[in-house]
Structure 1
Amino acid sequence: MNNNVPGFLVNIFVTEEEAREVRRAMEENQQLMASLDAEIERAKAALKNLVNQRSEAQRLLESNTAPSDTEVRAIREIIRTKEQEMDRLETEVVRTRNNLDAMIERRAAIAEESGPSSGVLDEFDADIEGARSVLKGLLTEREQTHDALEAHRALLSPIRRIPPEVLGEIFIHCLARQSMEPFVQASGDQFPLLLTQISSNWRNVALATPALWTSLAINITTASCIPNLDLIKTWIARSGSCPLSFYIEETIQKDYYTEGIITSASILELYAPHYHRWRNIRLQYQDWRIATGFLHLPRDLPPQSLQSLHLARDFWHASEYDQLSLMLSAPHLRKCIWVSNTDIGTFQAPFPQLTTLFLERPVDVKDFMHILSEGAKLELTQFLVLDSDPSLASDSPLMIRHENLRALDLTADLFGPLFNQLELPCLTHISMTRFDMGAHWPHDEFMSLLLRSKCVLREITLNDIDISPNQMCVVIRHASHSLEKLSLNNNRRSRHVIANDEVLRLLTWTTPDAGSNVCPRLSMIKLWDCHSAFDGALADMIESRWKAREGGPPKLMSIAFLMLDARTYPNDLQRLEALNRKRLGISIVRRPE
């Protein structure tokens, strides 16, 4: 008989049957231990897998990369678990709230029966406080679970699976939509720098998208250059081979100039090697005595990509004429804004190829007509035409018919000779400013221009024009079908009355019959120090076009700029401010004393 049990010393007085029982018990224990060890190993493996999944999910939460298929399955499992947890917590919150409400009601009943000093209330107070603590913990846990659930759901967002090149295109469109100006400010809270702060993936995509770094606005003062030179260099480097747009505004005066400070010449020196990539350039100088940096530019070829050029400087030195001529002769130049006392006629200006031309330097009638006759492609223009001798216009062509001009912004001392020699069938926007306060408004000539041109006016702006209310009514009726914006301004505080009771009544939408009203498309009006009517007439007109109602104008007015004397028009002021509170868009300035 073998009395030995493996690993143990068995008493020799144990019977064989008892020994078999011991061995059987030990074998069962060994099997149980082995099973427990296996369960522990499986539990450890499952725990390790959960920890890995949690770490991977946390890594994904902190990035914008797309999860793999394996990670997607793990995330969906986490979401399922979190949703179950949310359901449990919602049930617990409802149950705990109901119990708390029941305890509060029971306490109130006992207090009513036995009085507020009853010792039984102490137990209720303790239980109520405990229930409130439990509810607070449940609400906190529910909020944390909800945040984790939404974060994991976001991991499956389609944006994480967008290819980098598509994401780059989205960035470009976002930049275009954000920037109202054509030049980008280098600010950390705006595109494109903002994109580099979201995640490493977005940063890599943004830095690898040259089109995001093609535009830059630079401001130079005696004390600073924003952005600094290093960032400007980095910006240019990131733009790759894309066309460049930049705006340099230099507000340095020669009297405060010291050697070593950064000027526009320093900036142009950085951009000069990329001269062939210039597309949209704006240079604005405060003092003509400080060097511009034009001498750093090439002298053999014009910038081949240049499309828009805005130059603002009092005077240009003769040494800079060669570079100016080259820029003005760029083959693709379409837009030119010239703000200078130097005559643009000094150079070979490319009038035939321009579509936009703004000249803030005076020209005479003959030059004005010459530019319009040469610039057959011009669509948007701004001119200052001064001619003290009207007879000088007699040598000009009798009539110029311009087929493409859509917008004319004209400041002049004598409008009549200009109106008599123009026919503008495509004109939709016209703005006129009287330069000489002694010159009177040539109403007949203006109406002849409109009738002859058969143009469809959408916007009319009159600045310091001494047009009478009766004449204004004629203009409004003529443009009634198409007029969308009307701006009448006395900017020089001449207090000339244009909008009186008659004009305001004409503009007031009075009857359901649309045919008896004028300007059904009027959406913006500006009356600036130019109206005189009974108190309430202006509010009647604005209100008739401000509120949607049956039989009202098909297009509601959305913007109104008004200058009022608060003492003369208290009723107008009160009613207009009430309209603005209901729907914003009415700006009122009280006339100064």
Structure 2
Amino acid sequence: MDAAASLALPDAPISPASIAHLLATNSAPEGLESRIASAHLAELEKQAAFLESVMVACADRHADVLRSIRDHKSILSPVRRLPNELLVEIFMVVVRDTYGFDDNVPRPWSQPPWTLARVCRRWTAVALGTSLLWSRVVLHLDLIGLGQGAVTMTELLHQRSGSAPLTVEIHDDRDRETHNVLNAAFTHCERWKHVQLSGLFLSTMNPPIPQIARIHGRLPALTTLKIHAELKDDADILAEFRDIFAVAPNLTAVDAWFHDEDGFLCRPPFGFPWRQLTTLSISFARSEEALPIFPQLSTIVDLRVQVKWADPFPTQNPITLPHLRMLELYSQRAMKPPGYLSLLSCLTAPLLEHLGVHDEADEECILRFITQSGCKLRSFHFFESSMISSEVVLSLVHEMPCLRHLKVSHLDNASDPQPVLLIIQAIHSHWLAVRSTSGVSARLSVCIADNNRPTVDPEVSSLMQKDGLFVEIVRGVWQFDSLVDAKFA
């Protein structure tokens, strides 16, 4: 039916003939004309009220039609045609992006995956039918409170995740002895695959949360462990807690970073299955504390060692790490005491490709390590709080013919930009010689931190890029970006 035909509108208003002539004059109506005009005016007002009500109804109907259009368009939405398998992948990405490490999620039930199960029946079925979607257990003990709700939520996560491996994050910044939700969390520790523990306060006077002892010997699926904590004193923690991570047959990656109340690095109070690890980032108070561990790292591929300071220790025969590809050494304090030794003096790594040194070794030790190892470095990061000689950098680069990425900081003569430009020219010449010898069209990227931040001539920069040399000069001091720690992100 035509939409116009369904509306019975009154005829257009026509003025009565007896008073029509008055509309074109200023004459006053007589008695009869006045009564006719009043009656006609009342009729017009009646029609106006009627039309106004029709317009309101039409506006309401128009809004209804627009809503119906929108609703019916949703029927044709591509989202409805997504197969469940693709919908699951989207859900997984949303959940992963919601819970990042150190993110504060005070009300997790108002976040995915909980919200995904409340959209429609299909989404509910897909969400509840995907066990991996519920396999991430994030517990911020300071935020969730001590109520029963957190326990119920954790138990429901375990139920919905079925037998899927669990990713567990427990964050606690308070000095507490227990938390009721941990009983629920530790009940399923056999399914833990990736674990992050942060902010825990440990000491002999206040051992780690007592419930954590329950996981000892019950970590068959654990592959990755990240634990960052503050030690209240330098004493060993109680024996019942020391070996809780030592029995984990599939654990291959450990990031263990400990510090005291003043922020200085400490040795780990826990033991780990060293001989099976392939990735390790670990802290110590003194370099010597790392020595007993090195011989046990027979399968290590990526290693980062952080020490409070480099200190003297007895010389010993170098330990060969046959599979090591990535090594980073970091000293928290730049000052080196007389007679100190770098941990590089204790190691050889024939397959090493990346070396990062932060205030832990000088150029002589680095060169000796490269020579003894016979490794072909492709990446080298060198940071010194004191000034680095340009000649030192060049001597190091000359011993790295396979180098493809170089980062250096704190070159000498900080008040004069010329040394930076000269070293870039020298690296360019060296790079041309390397390319002509190897016959390979490779690339070398160089990042230099300098307070003056001198500018490389655009034409020179363009020429170097054609030769495969890409140079970046940044102001100040770049942060020591850890490639090993990035593997735990």
The TM-score with structure 2 as length reference comes to 0.64
Alignment of 1:403-422 (within 5 A): 403-412=322-331, 413=336, 416=341, 418-422=343-347
Residue 354 of structure 1: how far off its partner (Å): 0.9
Deviation by residue 1:156-204 (Cα, 9 ceiling, x = unmatched):
4565344435532443355457766598956578643453455442233
Question: 1:267, CA displacement in angstroms?
Answer: 3.3
**Distance in 2 (alpha carbons) for counterparts of 1:513 and 1:463:** 23
Q: Which of the numbers 169, 172, 179 marks the counterpart of 1:265?
A: 179
Change (3 A) 1:481 1:157: farther
Contact 2:144 2:150 in 1 (8 A): no
Aligned counterpart for 2:420 among listed residues 461, 478, 503 = 503
1:443/1:563 CA distance change after superposition, 3 Å:
closer
Residue of structure 2 aligned with 1:351, choices 261, 274, 282: 274
The equivalent position to 2:129 in structure 1, one of 195, 208, 213, is 208
2:167 and 2:362 map into 1 onto residues whose CA distance is: 43
Preserved contact between residue 508 and residue 540 of structure 1 (Cα < 8 Å): no
Matches within 5 A, 1:257-296: 265-285=179-199, 287-288=201-202, 292-295=208-211
- Structure 1 pair 517–461 and aligned structure 2 pair: CA distance change class (3 A): same
Higher relative contact order (CA 8 A, sep 6+): 2
Q: What one-letter code is carried by the residue in structure 2 that aligns with 1:449?
A: F
Q: Could you tell me how far 1:425 is from its partner in structure 2?
A: 2.4
Tell me the secondary structure at the aligned position of residue 284 of structure 1: strand
Deviation at 1:351? 1.1
Out of 436, 456, 462, the position equivalent to 2:377 is 456
Q: What residue in structure 1 maps to residue 476 of structure 2?
A: 563
Instruction: Report the Cα offset of residue 353 of structure 1.
Output: 0.5
Q: Distance in 2 between matches of 1:294 and 1:541?
A: 63
How much has 1:503 moved relative to structure 2?
Answer: 3.2
**Which of 221, 225, 242 is the aligned partner of 2:142?**
221
* Structure 1 partner of 2:248: 330
Check whether the contact 1:313–1:340 (CA below 8 A) recurs between aligned residues: yes
CA distance in 1, matches of 2:178, 2:457: 51
Q: Aligned in 2, Cα 1:308/1:299: closer, same or farther, shift over 3 Å?
A: closer
Structure 1's unaligned 5+ residue stretches are 1-42, 44-140, 258-262, 436-440, 565-593
Residues 183 and 211 in structure 2, CA contact (< 8 A), matched pair in contact too: no
| 1:416–1:446 Cα contact (<8 Å) kept | no
Q: Which residue of 1 aligns with 2:405?
A: 484
Shift of 1:513: 12
Out of 353, 359, 372, the residue aligned to residue 428 of structure 1 is 353
What's the CA shift for 1:418? 3.3
Within-5 A mapping of 1:14-413 = 148=69, 152=73, 155-156=75-76, 159-165=79-85, 167-173=87-93, 175-176=95-96, 181=101, 191-193=112-114, 195-196=116-117, 198-221=119-142, 224=145, 228-252=150-174, 254=175, 265-285=179-199, 287-288=201-202, 292-295=208-211, 297-298=213-214, 301-311=217-227, 312-314=229-231, 320-340=238-258, 348-365=271-288, 367-385=289-307, 388-390=311-313, 392-393=314-315, 396=316, 398-412=317-331, 413=336
For 1:286 and 1:165, the matched residues in 2 are separated by 39
Identify if the C-alpha distance between structure 1 residues 348 and 510 changes in structure 2 by more than 3 Å, giving closer, same or farther: closer
Distance 1:213 1:498 in 2: 57
Q: Which residue of 2 aligns with 1:36?
A: none
Q: Which structure has the greater CA radius of gyration?
A: 1
* Amino acid in the other structure paired with 1:563: G
RMSD after superposition: 4.7
Give the CA deviation at 1:508.
6.0
Task: Name the CA distance, whole Å, in 2 between partners of 1:496 and 1:322.
Answer: 55
Deviation (angstroms), 1:480: 6.5
Distance between the aligned counterparts of 1:304 and 1:538, measured in 2? 55
Q: Which amino acid aligns with 1:562?
A: R
Distance 1:411 1:555 in 2: 28
> Is the 8 Å Cα contact of residues 507 and 517 (structure 1) preserved in structure 2?
no
Q: Deviations over 1:55-95 (max 9, x none)?
A: xxxxxxxxxxxxxxxxxxxxxxxxxxxxxxxxxxxxxxxxx
* Larger helix fraction of residues: 1
Shift in Å at residue 326 of structure 1? 3.2
Distance, in Å, in 2 between the alignment partners of 1:171 and 1:222 is: 25
Match of 1:515 among 422, 429, 432: 432
In 2, the alpha carbon distance for the partners of 1:432 and 1:375 equals 20
Conserved in 1, the CA contact under 8 Å of 2:255 and 2:281?
yes
Q: Summarize deviations over 1:279-298 as a string: whole Å, max 9, x none.
A: 22222235436563333643
Identity %: 17
Q: Provide the secondary structure at the position in 2 that maps to 1:303.
A: coil
Unpaired runs of at least 5, structure 2: 2-61, 261-265, 436-440, 478-489
- Residues 176-235 of structure 1: per-residue CA shift (max 9 Å, x gap): 577665989565786434534554422331232121122233323389579945434433
Matches of 2:146 and 2:426, distance apart in 1: 54
Corresponding residue of 1:107: none
The question of whether the paired residues in 1 share the 8 Å contact of 2:446 and 2:470 is answered with no
For residues 461-519 of structure 1, the C-alpha deviation after alignment (integer angstroms, 9 at most, x for no partner) is 414254312111222444475333514269xxxx9849952333333699999727999
Aligned partners of 1:178, 1:509: CA distance in 2, in Å? Answer: 48
Change (3 A) 1:182 1:551: same
Which residue does 1:113 correspond to in 2? Answer: none
Shift in CA distance, 503/373, structure 1 to aligned 2, threshold 3 Å: farther
**Higher strand fraction: Structure 1 or Structure 2?**
2
Question: Does the 8 Å CA contact 1:268/1:294 hold for their aligned counterparts?
Answer: no
Matched residues, number: 391
AA partner of residue 167 (structure 1): L
Q: Do the aligned residues in 2 keep the contact of 1:354 with 1:377 (CA within 8 Å)?
A: yes
Question: Do 1:499 and 1:531's aligned partners in 2 also have CA atoms closer than 8 Å?
Answer: no
Aligned mate of 2:366, from 446, 469, 478: 446
Cα shift at 1:303: 1.3
Give the TM-score taking structure 1 as reference length: 0.54
Give the deviation of 1:275 after TM superposition: 1.7
Deviation at 1:339, TM superposition (A): 3.0
Matched residue of 2:299: which SS? coil
